[in-house]
Structure 1
Amino acid sequence: MTQPDTSVPPPVNISHSIVKDATFIQHNNINQHHYTRSGERPGYMRLLENVAKAALHDSIHVVDPPKCHPNTRVAIIQNIHDWTLGVDAKVGSKPILWLKGGAGAGKSAIARSVAERCSDEGLLLGAFFFGAADPTRNHVGRLVATLSYQISIVLPEFRDMVAAFIEDDPLIFDRSIKTQFSTLIVRPLSAILANRPTASTATPRLIIIDGLDECSAVNSQQDLVLTLQEVTNTTTFIRFLVCSRPESHLNSAFSLFRMTPILHCLFLDDDDYAASDDIRLYLEDTFKQIKEEHVFKNALPDPWPAPEMVDILVDKSSGQFIYAATVIRYVDSPRHRPNQRLDAIFNLRPPFKDLPFTELDALYRLIISKAEDLPAVLDILAFPALYGAYHAEAIEMMLQLEQGSVEVLLADLHSIVTFSWEGVRFLHKSLADFLSEPQRAGDLYRDLFRVQLSHVARVISIFSTHCGQRTRILHSSQIYKPIIQVLSELRKPDNMKADYVSSDILQALQLFPSFEFLKAFIEPLFSSEGPIFIRFYFQYLYCIKDVVLALLLMNWSSDWAAHFVFAYDHLLHDPCYLLPRKLSHVNFITHFQQTDVEAFGHTMLYIIGVATSMDDLYYPYFDDITKISHDLMGNTEKEAIFAKSASFCLALLCDERSASQDAGSIYGIARHDRRKKRDHPWHWRQMVPRPPSLGNRLALIGFRPTLYMDYKLKLTRIRKALRNSIPYRYGDIRLITMREYFEVKSEPVPKSWPWWIKDERPQQWPLYIFLLDLLPHILPLAGWYEPLVDMCRKKCLSSLSQVWPKKSRRARQAIDNYLCRMDSQEGGE
């Protein structure tokens, strides 16, 4: 470029100029045509040509620059000031401070406040404020020239030296940023300081670089970070304050091994620096100012604004000043009443033509649009928008993404999204409002309600896929969130329940293997995630029972145990069936140990709800589901359920193998001769004319007074022991043979039945009695079911039936009546 002719200077333009310390300083309109000071060196004028005037911290070319409100951000500003002075030896030894924070956290306002304070105290060498929308400061091309110019103002002797370096290399501004830093800052500064005495703490040494993420080229940002590291290796005099969003490429650059020893990081976290308190102070002060100075102040109600409004605004700000500042700018419009504008913020009145969050929405749209896979990113953002913090692993499971995909897809959104132990969450709560309003989000809008229903369907499908597996479902407590939130909405009055069911949900319900899922968990209350999910699953079904509860009954296939539990819990308890009180309660754990019913039945009662001593486990769905089950099912469906339930009962009653161990003890008490009862236990009366009944015999009984106490021994009649026991706990009593008794008595003075008796194989005879009594109530309700018919015709009751002749006789009579009914139906056809 042609050097300017300084021999004939044109008239001086002193626009925007000041005189400081008898030195003429011109901040603006500085170029080779208008800077006319006689005798100025060409090199320095060339420097001025490359200065970005809008990048200065006190530039008039930035309209309404962000500034910290008085008495806010005090702690963070003081922290940076102390680092500049090296007050803390540990932190002060690190020459680079990275101040990072989300979009709108107030980084630039803090940087300007620090620049002003340090400039007043003579600590500032220079500052450069990047701006994405300004072509003069959205790149690194003018960074070094702008900093060098400011240093020349602070250190006058620097001017001639840097001018000489430029004259020696006129193309210096076309060289790399590293070379420019070395030539125009480090070398002249080092030469000046070498001729000075040891620098005091008050010597200017701070350079501020704000908005690094707004530099247009990512490579330039990373190169600049590495250049700053090399500069600090060359000289210990300069300190760099770098402010930016925590973009992924900057996180990577600042995380390099060579950066660790020289880098101190500060994150604008609300918890660390009480940003919410500062925002509250800012809102209260500015609202007070509006009430005192606004043109329509007399029209404002008193009090205004309501305290709860301020609380909500502080919460919505999420520690980010941009939200609060946007609200204030909107409310403070001189053409409108402030109270009406604030009502529009809270949707208490229709919005004005100028929407309140236009500036904030543009910021969100700019950041989100940077994502490479925008549809996938919007799918991910729906989770924190709907449920708050949500674990990345759970999102990947819900969206069927590869492990680690969430962090990769959100790499460009770190300024509005953060990762923590809580999961993926928004730095701005207002971002959820933006995504949920089509007028604001535009083409980024997703119908979050429909998305939530798809999440519910996906949750059901995930647990359906994991049915029977003992592997832990990652972050299942997070996976429940869609169902939990839908449940909270369903419980609100006047909600249309059909709105909370979609075709995807119906399909997932039809495919969900309820019984197989429950059967996979041996300890359903406390040991695994499955029963927790199934509680929410059943609660959801209960809430939408009028729509899909019948689906639950169709998913158990032909499993007898499942149908037995459902028939017992929800059909037999109907008053029309007159189930005796002694059969109305059963403890599935003590009665059905080592059977398929134990886990399934107990979990069903736990989930759907019967009264228990633990109030927090009680869900009053039992009576409703019983009634609804009758209403939704026809007679044919009921007959099929009762038939499969009877098959379950008869299979246990005819199982000689499971009865043999109990039979040995019982025969030892009753003095029955087992050798006389061989092949036909149904016809045992023909072989033993007058067998004694066990019910009225004296026997040693082991019983537990309460559920958690050891067994006690007592000589009493078995029928009396059963009659006096709590109905649903008579499985806790045991028959004890004299041999067993004397074995225990031979031990050193036991006070109770040994504790290990609880860990032995439970006796089956209490369950046997229960099923003998229950079978006559089920078979009359059962329809045609071929396995049941075959069992009734070919199998016989086990030898335990001989001990209770009356009960066995009633059971056999019910079997005969069922066969007669089935034969008559078959003949009628």
Structure 2
Amino acid sequence: MQCKVLDLVHQAACSLAVTGHRVIFLVANRPEPEISQKFSTDLMGDITTYYTLGNSEDSKNDVRLFLQGGFQEIRKIHPLRNSIPPSWPRLGDIDKLVRKASGQFLYAHIVIDYVRSIRHRPNHRLAKILALSPEQGNNPFEDLDALYTHVFSSIDSVDSVLRVLGLSLSRFTSKNFTFGDIVRDRLGLNLEDVQLLFGGLTSVIEIAHIREGKPDAWELTVRHASLAEFLTNQRRPKQYFLDVNLSRAEWVSWLLRNDLEDGSTLFKLADALSELRSCKSQELHDTLRDCHLGLLLSKASLPSSKTASVKYIYDIITMIKEMSFEDAEALYKFQLKVFETQIPLILGQFYCQPACLPLLLNNFTTVEPESPARALSYMVGVEEKRIEIDPLGLWWRPAWNSQLHVFLSTFIRDPSRSLQYAVNGSKLAEAGIALIHFLCHPTTPTDILRVIRQYTRSLKYRPWTSRGMRRSRFRTAPGKWFIHRCCDLCGEAHTPVSSCPHRDENESNIATLAYRASPRSPLIVLHRKPKLLGYRFALAFLPDMLAEASRSSELIQYCKKHAFHPTSILFPRKSKPARRAISNYLNRMDAEERGWWLD
């Protein structure tokens, strides 16, 4: 990613140079191999001026002043200041530290924090740092690594320290627990124990309370990001290497067994498992074998959290199949079977209307969740307030949930899995009846007369404007439909271009006057915007329902006697296939009846 940023900088510099402009980009970076290699290319080298902070006398002098000030403060306030020689530290020792720092304040800052420890003699601590001799190689952080290695070598119970640090570097957050909860549960350590354990690491680790009155509400913070980089790089810390994946697997195992009430926790678990595909933690394996993830759907708190809970639980289950366990496929099938036992309960509770069947079978997505949710609620016949409870995400239809929708479409077509909610010809016929009824008798707003009077008033008093407007629309946009949004605040109708300044533009549930320009006469239809969208959805779903619907006398009567509402002319591309589907269904029923008589 850093190299891509440098490519963008190069492109911008070249583009500006062509136009005669000159912009200077200041890029501050550490000597990472990838970045150094990028700057060494001919394209970047020709336009780059290098300034190394470590070689600057100004930076060296600043580091020297920082060290001198830090040591002077230690000589004044340290509890053991009487045992410190007046000439401490020697000028040569400071020069050596300045060379080791290479112009970087991070090294100098860690040295001062390490030496000022009140539990040790400062002169002895400084002597140990000066005696360090790092291995020479291609690592630009030899001196810093040697310092970190020395710091960790001087503490007791380093295994426990690394384990707590691993949990801290890979931790999750939730409203139901704190970092101290897992440390106490997994390691049996409270805050006082951790403070004693990290007593020798105060120069690089900070431990502090986050809530008064709760002893387990504390946080562990790594003061310098370079320490985390040092511990997690397998080539640098050697015996102090910290495998973050094992710590992340420990977090996931603990959460699966103790806390899954929070929807945000499920989201983070799904992301964590995606990073643990190559991890072979036995504890994680046993947890995935023992925990029944599908039973989480039966919790009262999860179905009420819209689509997040079901989606994340399904993602967690599908990720099990991609893990590196030998029996990953068996674990996946077991968890999926438990998950499938809970889906019929949700279907019966939230999606029992016949018009919901198209939502289960059709896999469409949208980037605007609010309007489709209201539109589908009109089509299905559900109150708008109930769209807030949509555990399967059928009404909101976010694009990132398409994998779950594909699973549901396959699930309800298998009678052995979906039981009484399996799709058959009679259920498709019931769904077809519900859709045709909605297409033939859509509800209209109660203020239809007021809006029509308002619209016709302009035609009465300014007929020349109306005729010219109609003629211009016939020429420029034949066959297209236009809308006017009727505002209750100012009492006027507005087009999307000339919207009312008093109305919130995000408000979609406004009475809408829609008409389609026609060579003969304009067709006027009054609806609210989500209802128009719901009408389009119903037209799109109807052909799929009728294609496999079984014989139903009620559906046949609907197909023969009921005609689509004039709103259908607003959607000519959707209306034509829907009418053709009705005709094909009637022909199929007639053919079956003739075949029955012949038999």
TM norm structure 1: 0.34
- Rg larger in structure: 1
